[in-house]
C-alpha cells in the first residue's frame, strides 16, 4: 500500500470516529446538513490541533465504567434522600414550636407522599444517561484544554444551528455545558483555565422546561457528588490523629478571576506615553459605563446598554452578539438594539457572551417582575394562592434587586471597588457576572415556576389552585429528591408561602367548620358544591316509603332538623333528601327489603369529596338482603391537590363507617362528625384541634342544644353510662374526637372480646354504608331499639369496611390515639430504613462488584505492604543500591519510572485506573542520622495512589498516609535484611580462607613462636565466629520482625478485612472497616505513637544491622590481608563490637519492654512478636547472664 493510500484509509477511519464523537456530543442527527457542518468543523479543528485520540478501545472501556458510575450516582442520590427522610423523621421529637411543627408536618407529608410515589422507583432515563456518559467519557478521554477548544467550537456551531435544528440540539447543548462544568470542577487544575475561557459561558436555555431538565440532570450527574456525605461520621479514636472522614469531595476552589485587568493595563501603560494613558483611562471609564448600563438593565430601569451610544475612539469596534445574541434577540422583549462596545481585557466573544447572558437574565427578570406585579395587583382577580405565589416571587426578586442596587451604588462611586471574597477588586463586567451568578439559578428557577404557574386557562379557581400547588409541590419534591440545597430551599420557601392561604382555609374549615376564609372560592369543597347545584333536582326521587315502621328514621330525621314530609320521604334541610323504600310487606322485620337512598347536594358533596382523590367510584346502595341494589358510577373532577389527597382520604374515609360531613350552603357551616382513623394523619389534626381550644365539640353542641339543626351525635356514654369512659372527658361533655376514638376503641375491644357487646355497639352503625351517603346519628334515647339488629348487619359492616380500604377493621385501633411522632415512626421509619438498607447494600455491591474495590485494596496491599513479592522489589532494590553507594536516590523521575515498571501487568488487576506517583523526599529529615547509610534515609519517600470516584471515598489521602508509614517501615526492614544477607555467598569462600588461614597461622606460629604477640594469636584464633553469631542474632531479630508483621499482622488482618468487607452492608461500614484495618496495621506495626519505644528500638536494631553490614566486610577484608592492614582491622573490630554492644542493649530493652507490655495484657498482638523473638529464651537467658 502506498503512503497516500494508507493516509487515505486512516483518514477515513478517523472520520468515522469523529462522526461518532460529534454525534454523541452534539446530539445532532446524522444526514443533516448541520451534522456535516459540525463534522467538517471538527475535522478542521482537529487538524489544527492534532490532539484528539480517538481510539475506540479507550472509548469503549470508559463507557462501561461510566455507566456504572452514573448508576452509582443515582443510587447515592436516592440514598441521600432516604437518609434525609429518616433523619428528619427521627428529629420529629425536637420540633416544639407550634408553627414549626405545622410546617414540618406538612413537609413530612409531602415528603412521604413523594417517597412512596416516586423516589423509590426513580430511575434515570436510559437514553439520557447514555448521552451523558458519552459526554463525560469524551471529556475524560481527551486532554482537557483541547477539549475546551473543541467543545466550545462545537458549541458555537451548535448555537448557529440553534435556529434550524431547534430544541433538540439546544437541550443537548445545555446538558453539555453543565456536564462540562462538573467535569472541570473536579479537575481543579483546570478551573482557572475554564474561568478564563470565554467559551465556557453557559448557554442559558430559553425554554423553561429544558432548563429545568438541565437542572435536574445536572443535579443527577454533578451536584450529588457534593452531597455524597453520609449522615453519620465514622467513629475513630481521635487520639490516632485521624480527622473524621468526609465523603464529600471538596467543591472546586474557584478563585475569583483577575478582574482589574483594565486597571492593570492602565498602570502598565502609564509610564509610556500620554496617548496610551488616555486610552487606558478612557477604557476604564468606558467599562464603568458599560457596567452601569448593565446594572441598570438588570435593575429593570431605562437607559439600557443597547440604547447607549458607545465609544468611538478609533479602537476596533466590536458588535455585541453578532452571533450569539442573534438566536435570542428576537425573544428579548425590551433590549433589542445592539451597539458597538469595546473592552480591551475581554475578547469580543467573551464580551458578547457576557452581555448576552446579562440580556437574558434581565429579560427574565423583567418578565418575572411583570408577573408578580400582575399577580399582586388587587383587581386582577387572582386567587389567594396565586397572590401568595406572586408575593413570594417578588420577595425573591427583591433580594436580587438588593444586590443589583448595591452594585449600582458602588458603580456610581469615584473609583468603584468592592470587597469580594476578602479582597478588593474593581467593579468590572466580569465581577458583576460573578456576583450575580449565584442568583442566576434562582432567576431561572423562578422563571420556570412562573411559567408553570401562569400557564393555561382553568375552569375554576379551585382548579387553578390545585394546579399551582401540585406543580410547586412536584417541583419542590423533585428538587428535594435530587439534593441541591439551594434550589430546594428556594422552592421550599415558595411552596410553603404559596400553600399558606390554602392551609389557612383548610384549617379554618376543620376547626370552625366554615369557609369564611375562602374568599376566592378556591377550596376544593367549594368547587364541588358549585358543580352540585345543577344536578340536585334530578336526584330527588322519592320512592315508596313506610314511615310507620321507621322509628329510627324518624329519630334520624328529627335529628337532622328536618321533618317527615310524606310517606317515606324525609326532607332534611341539612341532609338533602333521604328516601326510604320498602319492597317487602313484612312489618315484622324493620329492615327487610328496605332501601335507603340518600340524595341531595350534601350526600353528593360528600361522595365527591371522597372521590376527589379517587376520581371515580362506584356507589352502591343496597338493601340488607341484596334484593335491591342500586349502582351508579360517579365521576368527579379532581380538584384536591395531589399531595393533599392522602390527607383528605384520611380525613374523609378513614373512619369507614361514620364519616359524615355535612355542608350547608347557606350558612357555610360544616358540621363534621369525624371518626378517628386508625392512622396517623387524622390524629394530627386531632391534636391541632385540641390546640385550638377544643372548639370542635360537636357532641357537646348536641347535648347543649338538642334542637339544633346540626346533625349531631351523642355518644354511647349517654346511653350507657356504665361503660367505663374516662371521666374527665365525660365531664367536658366529651370532646368529639376523643370520644369517638374512645368509641372505636370500645368497638375494637368488643370485637375481640365479646360478640354480644359487639352487637350492641354495632347497632349504632347499622344504617351506614361506607359510601357516606347518609349520616348516622348515635341515638341517645333509650327508646331506640337496636336489639333486633340481625347479625348479618355486622357482617355487612365488616365486609363493607374491608372493601373500603385495605386496612382491616381489626387493625389496632389503639394506635389511633398515638401521637403523630410515634405514628410516623412506626408507620414509616421501618420501611424507610429498610429501603436505606437495601440501597446501601446495592451501593456496596456496586463498589465491590463493578468498581472492584477488593481488587484495588489488594493492589494497595501489594504495593504498600509489598505483599506480592516482586511488586516494588526492583524499586526498593534500586533505592537501596543507591543508598549503599551514597548516590542521590530521590530523583522523582527515576523513581517514578522505576515504580511504574515494577508494577507487573496482571489480568485480574486493573492498573489502568490507577496511577502511582512519588513525591520523593518531600520532607527528608535533616537530622544527623538521616544520612544515606542510616535506616532513616527512606523517611522522605511518599508514594501516592489515586483512584477514581467513588473508590476514593474509601481510599483517601488519610489512609494513604498510613499506608505510606507502613511501607517505609517495611522497606526499612527489607533494607536491613538485604544488607545482612548481602555477603552470604562469601561465607563459603570464608570457609576455604579459614582453612587456609589455619595453615598460615600455624606457619606464623612456628615462625614466630618466640615473642608471639598473644593478642594476635587470639585475633586469629577466633576469627569471625563471634561476628557470625552476632550476624545470626541480628538476622534473627530482623527476620522475626518481618515474619511477625507479614504473617501475623498483615496476613491475618487483610484476610479478615476482605471477609468483613464482603459481608458489610453499607458504605460507612466499608469505610470504617478499611480505616480500622489500617489503624490496626499501623498499631501492630509498632507505628502508633504509644508504641514509640518499641518502634524506636526496632529501628535502632535495623540501623545496627546496616552498620554491621558495612563494618563486617571491612573486617573480613582486613582479616585476609593480615598484618598489612592492622589499623583497619582494629577499627572494624571496634565498630563491630560497638554494634554488638548496642544490639544487645537494644534487644534487652526490646524483650523487657515487650514482656512488660504483654504481661499487662495491653497489646495481645505483641505477644506474638515476643514469642518469636525469644522462642528459645535466648535473650532472657542472656539477660541473666549479663
Half-sphere exposure of residue 800, counting CA atoms within 13 Å on the CB side? 25
Question: CB of 1174: closest distance to another protein in angstroms?
Answer: 7
Q: Which of 20, 750, 1043, 1155 binds another protein (CB under 8 A)?
A: 1043
Question: CB of 1039: closest distance to another protein in angstroms?
Answer: 5
Question: CB of 885: closest distance to another protein in angstroms?
Answer: 17
1051 binds another protein (CB under 8 A): yes
Considering the complex, state which of residue 273 and residue 1003 has its C-beta at the smaller distance from another protein: 1003
Question: CB of 887: closest distance to another protein in angstroms?
Answer: 19
Beta carbons of 652 and 659 less than 8 angstroms apart: yes
Considering the complex, state which of residue 916 and residue 1158 has its C-beta at the smaller distance from another protein: 1158
**Residue whose C-alpha is closest to residue 764's, from 672, 655, 652:** 655
∠ CA 376-379-384, rounded to 5°: 50
Considering the complex, state which of residue 622 and residue 855 has its C-beta at the smaller distance from another protein: 855
Considering the complex, state which of residue 268 and residue 1055 has its C-beta at the smaller distance from another protein: 1055
Considering the complex, state which of residue 811 and residue 874 has its C-beta at the smaller distance from another protein: 874
Beta carbons of 1034 and 980 less than 8 angstroms apart: yes
Question: CB of 985: closest distance to another protein in angstroms?
Answer: 5
Interface of this chain with another protein, residues 888 to 907, rule: CB under 8 A: 906-907
Kindly state the cell numbers that stand for 519: 374568599
Question: CB of 904: closest distance to another protein in angstroms?
Answer: 8
d(CA 714, CA 732): 13
1176 binds another protein (CB under 8 A): yes
**Residue whose C-alpha is closest to residue 320's, from 297, 299, 346:** 346
Beta carbons of 294 and 320 less than 8 angstroms apart: no
Q: Which of 1002, 1008, 1089, 1124 binds another protein (CB under 8 A)?
A: 1002
Considering the complex, state which of residue 358 and residue 973 has its C-beta at the smaller distance from another protein: 973
Q: Which of 723, 1046, 1093, 1110 binds another protein (CB under 8 A)?
A: 1046
Which segments within 490-648 are labelled E, that is strand?
Answer: 563-566, 569-572, 576-582, 594-599, 616-622, 629-635
992 binds another protein (CB under 8 A): yes
Considering the complex, state which of residue 439 and residue 1036 has its C-beta at the smaller distance from another protein: 1036
d(CA 221, CA 66): 11
Considering the complex, state which of residue 565 and residue 1001 has its C-beta at the smaller distance from another protein: 1001
635 binds another protein (CB under 8 A): no
For 772, residues 6+ apart whose C-beta sits below 8 A from its C-beta are: 603, 606, 607, 610, 652, 653, 659, 660, 661
Considering the complex, state which of residue 322 and residue 1012 has its C-beta at the smaller distance from another protein: 1012
863 binds another protein (CB under 8 A): no
Q: How far is CA 709 from CA 664, 702, 713, 735, 774, in A?
A: 10, 10, 12, 20, 16
Considering the complex, state which of residue 382 and residue 861 has its C-beta at the smaller distance from another protein: 861
Considering the complex, state which of residue 823 and residue 898 has its C-beta at the smaller distance from another protein: 898
Question: CB of 1052: closest distance to another protein in angstroms?
Answer: 4
985 binds another protein (CB under 8 A): yes
Question: CB of 1134: closest distance to another protein in angstroms?
Answer: 19
Considering the complex, state which of residue 622 and residue 868 has its C-beta at the smaller distance from another protein: 868
Q: Residues 1019-1038: x/- map of binding to another protein (CB under 8 A)?
A: -xxxxxxx-xx-xxx-xxx-
| Helix 1067-1084 and helix 1052-1063, axial crossing angle in degrees, nearest 10 | 170
Peptide bond into 950 cis (omega under 30): yes
For 380, residues 6+ apart whose C-beta sits below 8 A from its C-beta are: 374
Considering the complex, state which of residue 235 and residue 870 has its C-beta at the smaller distance from another protein: 870
Could you tell me which stretch among 517-525, 693-701, 1046-1054, 1105-1113 binds another protein (CB under 8 A)?
A: 1046-1054
**Residue whose C-alpha is closest to residue 320's, from 292, 281, 347:** 347
d(CA 1090, CA 892): 33
Q: How far is CA 1108 from CA 164, 557, 1111, 1115, in A?
A: 83, 113, 5, 10
Could you tell me which stretch among 100-108, 175-183, 744-752, 999-1007 binds another protein (CB under 8 A)?
A: 999-1007
1172 binds another protein (CB under 8 A): yes
d(CA 547, CA 359): 78
Question: CB of 860: closest distance to another protein in angstroms?
Answer: 14
Beta carbons of 266 and 285 less than 8 angstroms apart: no
For 78, residues 6+ apart whose C-beta sits below 8 A from its C-beta are: 119, 120, 122, 481, 839
Considering the complex, state which of residue 308 and residue 1178 has its C-beta at the smaller distance from another protein: 1178
Q: Which of 869, 912, 1011, 1161 binds another protein (CB under 8 A)?
A: 869
Beta carbons of 85 and 836 less than 8 angstroms apart: no
d(CA 344, CA 282): 11
Question: CB of 103: closest distance to another protein in angstroms?
Answer: 56
Q: How far is CA 269 from the centre of its chain?
A: 51
Question: CB of 978: closest distance to another protein in angstroms?
Answer: 8
Q: How far is CA 1024 from CA 992, 1038, 1087, 1119, 1133, in A?
A: 14, 20, 35, 9, 10
∠ CA 677-679-682, rounded to 5°: 60
Q: Which of 917, 981, 1069, 1120 binds another protein (CB under 8 A)?
A: 981
866 binds another protein (CB under 8 A): yes
Q: Residues 706-735: x/- map of binding to another protein (CB under 8 A)?
A: ------------------------------
989 binds another protein (CB under 8 A): yes
Interacting residue ranges for another protein, rule: CB under 8 A: 865-870, 873-874, 877, 906-908, 970, 977, 980-981, 984-992, 995, 998, 1001-1002, 1005, 1017-1018, 1020-1026, 1028-1029, 1031-1033, 1035-1037, 1039-1040, 1042-1043, 1046-1048, 1050-1052, 1055, 1167-1168, 1171-1176, 1178-1179, 1181
Amino acid at each position: 500500500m502506498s503512503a497516500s493510500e494508507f493516509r487515505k484509509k486512516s483518514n477515513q477511519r478517523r472520520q468515522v470516529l469523529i462522526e461518532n464523537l460529534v454525534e454523541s456530543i452534539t446530539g445532532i442527527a446524522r444526514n443533516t446538513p448541520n451534522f456535516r457542518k459540525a463534522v467538517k468543523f471538527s475535522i478542521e479543528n482537529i487538524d489544527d490541533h492534532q490532539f484528539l485520540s480517538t481510539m475506540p478501545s479507550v472509548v469503549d472501556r470508559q463507557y462501561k465504567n461510566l455507566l456504572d458510575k452514573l448508576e452509582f450516582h443515582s443510587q447515592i442520590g436516592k440514598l441521600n434522600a432516604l437518609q434525609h427522610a429518616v433523619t428528619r423523621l427521627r428529629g420529629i421529637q425536637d420540633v416544639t414550636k407550634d408553627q414549626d411543627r405545622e410546617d414540618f408536618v406538612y413537609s413530612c407529608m409531602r415528603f412521604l407522599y413523594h417517597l412512596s410515589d416516586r423516589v423509590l422507583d426513580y430511575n434515570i432515563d436510559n437514553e439520557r444517561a447514555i448521552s451523558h456518559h458519552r459526554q463525560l467519557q469524551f471529556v475524560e478521554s481527551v486532554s482537557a484544554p483541547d477539549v475546551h477548544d473543541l467543545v466550545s467550537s462545537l458549541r458555537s456551531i451548535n448555537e448557529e444551528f440553534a435556529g434550524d435544528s431547534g430544541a433538540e440540539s439546544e437541550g443537548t447543548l445545555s446538558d453539555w455545558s453543565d456536564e462540562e462544568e462538573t467535569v472541570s470542577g473536579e479537575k481543579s487544575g483546570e478551573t482557572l483555565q475554564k474561568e478564563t475561557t470565554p467559551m465556557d459561558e453557559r448557554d442559558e436555555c430559553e425554554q423553561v422546561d429544558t432548563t429545568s431538565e438541565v437542572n435536574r440532570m445536572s443535579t443527577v450527574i454533578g451536584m450529588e457528588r457534593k452531597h455524597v456525605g453520609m449522615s453519620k461520621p465514622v467513629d475513630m479514636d481521635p487520639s490516632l490523629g485521624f480527622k473524621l472522614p468526609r465523603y464529600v469531595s471538596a467543591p472546586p476552589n474557584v478563585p475569583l478571576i483577575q478582574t482589574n485587568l483594565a486597571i492593570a493595563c492602565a498602570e502598565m501603560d502609564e509610564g509610556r506615553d500620554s496617548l496610551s494613558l488616555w486610552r487606558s483611562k478612557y477604557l476604564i471609564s468606558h467599562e464603568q459605563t458599560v457596567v452601569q448600563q448593565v446594572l441598570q438593565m438588570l435593575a429593570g430601569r431605562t437607559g439600557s446598554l443597547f440604547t447607549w451610544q458607545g465609544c468611538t475612539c478609533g479602537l476596533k469596534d466590536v458588535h455585541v452578539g453578532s452571533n450569539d445574541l442573534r438566536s435570542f434577540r428576537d425573544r428579548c422583549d425590551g433590549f433589542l438594539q445592539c451597539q458597538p462596545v469595546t473592552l480591551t481585557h475581554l475578547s469580543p466573544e467573551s464580551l458578547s457572551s457576557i452581555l448576552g447572558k446579562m440580556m437574558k437574565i434581565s429579560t427574565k427578570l423583567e418578565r418575572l417582575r411583570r408577573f408578580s406585579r400582575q399577580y399582586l395587583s388587587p383587581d386582577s382577580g387572582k386567587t389567594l394562592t396565586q397572590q401568595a405565589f406572586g408575593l413570594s416571587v417578588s420577595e425573591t426578586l427583591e433580594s436580587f434587586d438588593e444586590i443589583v442596587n448595591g452594585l449600582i451604588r458602588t458603580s456610581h462611586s469615584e473609583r468603584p471597588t468592592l470587597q469580594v471574597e476578602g479582597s478588593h477588586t474593581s467593579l468590572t463586567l466580569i465581577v458583576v457576572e460573578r456576583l450575580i451568578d449565584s442568583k442566576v439559578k434562582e432567576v431561572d428557577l423562578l422563571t420556570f415556576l412562573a411559567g408553570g404557574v401562569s400557564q393555561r386557562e382553568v375552569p375554576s379557581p379551585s382548579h387553578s389552585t390545585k394546579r399551582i400547588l401540585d406543580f410547586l409541590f412536584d417541583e419542590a419534591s423533585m428538587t428535594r429528591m435530587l439534593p441541591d440545597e439551594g434550589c430546594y430551599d428556594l422552592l421550599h420557601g415558595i411552596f410553603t408561602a404559596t400553600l399558606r392561604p390554602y392551609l389557612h382555609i383548610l384549617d379554618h374549615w376543620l376547626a370552625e367548620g366554615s369557609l369564611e376564609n375562602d374568599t376566592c372560592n378556591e377550596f376544593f369543597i367549594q368547587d364541588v358544591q358549585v358543580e352540585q347545584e345543577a344536578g340536585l333536582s334530578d336526584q330527588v326521587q322519592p320512592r315508596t316509603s313506610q314511615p310507620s315502621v321507621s322509628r329510627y328514621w324518624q329519630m334520624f330525621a328529627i335529628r337532622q332538623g328536618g321533618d317527615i314530609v310524606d310517606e317515606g320521604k324525609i326532607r332534611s334541610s341539612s341532609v338533602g333528601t333521604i328516601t326510604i323504600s320498602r319492597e317487602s310487606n313484612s312489618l315484622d322485620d324493620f329492615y327487610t327489603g328496605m332501601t335507603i337512598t340518600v340524595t341531595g347536594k350534601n350526600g353528593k358533596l360528600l361522595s365527591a369529596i371522597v372521590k376527589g382523590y379517587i376520581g371515580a367510584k362506584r356507589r352502591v346502595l343496597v338493601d340488607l338482603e341484596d334484593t335491591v341494589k342500586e349502582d351508579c358510577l360517579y365521576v368527579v373532577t379532581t380538584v384536591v391537590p395531589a399531595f393533599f389527597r392522602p390527607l383528605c382520604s384520611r380525613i374523609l374515609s378513614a373512619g369507614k363507617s361514620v364519616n359524615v360531613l355535612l355542608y350547608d350552603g347557606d350558612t357555610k357551616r360544616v358540621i363534621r362528625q369525624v371518626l378517628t382513623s386508625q392512622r396517623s394523619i387524622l390524629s394530627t389534626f386531632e391534636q391541632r384541634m385540641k390546640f385550638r381550644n377544643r372548639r370542635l365539640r360537636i357532641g357537646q353542641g348536641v347535648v347543649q342544644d338538642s334542637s339544633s339543626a346540626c346533625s349531631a351525635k351523642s355518644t354511647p356514654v349517654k346511653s350507657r353510662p356504665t361503660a367505663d369512659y374516662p371521666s374527665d372527658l365525660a365531664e367536658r361533655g366529651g370532646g368529639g374526637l376523643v370520644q369517638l376514638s374512645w368509641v372505636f376503641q370500645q368497638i375494637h375491644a368488643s370485637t375481640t372480646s365479646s360478640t354480644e357487646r359487639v352487637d350492641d355497639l354495632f347497632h349504632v352503625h347499622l344504617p351506614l354504608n361506607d359510601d357516606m351517603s347518609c349520616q348516622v346519628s348515635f341515638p341517645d334515647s333509650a327508646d331506640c331499639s337496636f336489639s333486633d339488629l340481625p347479625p348479618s348487619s355486622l357482617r355487612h359492616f365488616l365486609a363493607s369496611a374491608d372493601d373500603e380500604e385495605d386496612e382491616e377493621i381489626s387493625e389496632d385501633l389503639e394506635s389511633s390515639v398515638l401521637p403523630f411522632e410515634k405514628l410516623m415512626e412506626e408507620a414509616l421509619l421501618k420501611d424507610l430504613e429498610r429501603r436505606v438498607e437495601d440501597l446501601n447494600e446495592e451501593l456496596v455491591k456496586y463498589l465491590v462488584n463493578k468498581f472492584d474495590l477488593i481488587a484495588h485494596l489488594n493492589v494497595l496491599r501489594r504495593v504498600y505492604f509489598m505483599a506480592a513479592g516482586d511488586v516494588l522489589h526492583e524499586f526498593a532494590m534500586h533505592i537501596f543500591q543507591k543508598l549503599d553507594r551514597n548516590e542521590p536516590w530521590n530523583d522523582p523521575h527515576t523513581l517514578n519510572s522505576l515504580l511504574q515498571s515494577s508494577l507487573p501487568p496482571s489480568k485480574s488487576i486493573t492498573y489502568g485506573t490507577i496511577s502511582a506517583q512519588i513525591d520523593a523526599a518531600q520532607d527528608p529529615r535533616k537530622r544527623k542520622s538521616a544520612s544515606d547509610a542510616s535506616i532513616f534515609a527512606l523517611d522522605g519517600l511518599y508514594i501516592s495512589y489515586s483512584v477514581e470516584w467513588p473508590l476514593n471515598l474509601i481510599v483517601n489521602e488519610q489512609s494513604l498516609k498510613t499506608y505510606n508509614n507502613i511501607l517505609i517501615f517495611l522497606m526499612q526492614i527489607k533494607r536491613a535484611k538485604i544488607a545482612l544477607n548481602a555477603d552470604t555467598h562469601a561465607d563459603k569462600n570464608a570457609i576455604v580462607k579459614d582453612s587456609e588461614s589455619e595453615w598460615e597461622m600455624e606457619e606464623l606460629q612456628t615462625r614466630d613462636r618466640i615473642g608471639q604477640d598473644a593478642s594476635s594469636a587470639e585475633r586469629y584464633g577466633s576469627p569471625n565466629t563471634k561476628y557470625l553469631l552476632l550476624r545470626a542474632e541480628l538476622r534473627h531479630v530482623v527476620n522475626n520482625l518481618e515474619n511477625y508483621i507479614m504473617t501475623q499482622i498483615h496476613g491475618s488482618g487483610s484476610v479478615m478485612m476482605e471477609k468483613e468487607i464482603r459481608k458489610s452492608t453499607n458504605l460507612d461500614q466499608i469505610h470504617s472497616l478499611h480505616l480500622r484495618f489500617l489503624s490496626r496495621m499501623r498499631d501492630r506495626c509498632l507505628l502508633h505513637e504509644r508504641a514509640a519505644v518499641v518502634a524506636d528500638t526496632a529501628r535502632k536494631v535495623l540501623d545496627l544491622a546496616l552498620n554491621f553490614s558495612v563494618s563486617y566486610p571491612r573486617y573480613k577484608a582486613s582479616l585476609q590481608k593480615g598484618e598489612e592492614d592492622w589499623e583497619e582491622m582494629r577499627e572494624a573490630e571496634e565498630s563491630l563490637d560497638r554494634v554488638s554492644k548496642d544490639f544487645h542493649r537494644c534487644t534487652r530493652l526490646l524483650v523487657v519492654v515487650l514482656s512488660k507490655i504483654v504481661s499487662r495484657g495491653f497489646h495481645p498482638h505483641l505477644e506474638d512478636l515476643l514469642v518469636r523473638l525469644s522462642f528459645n529464651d535466648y535473650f532472657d537467658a542472656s539477660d541473666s547472664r549479663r
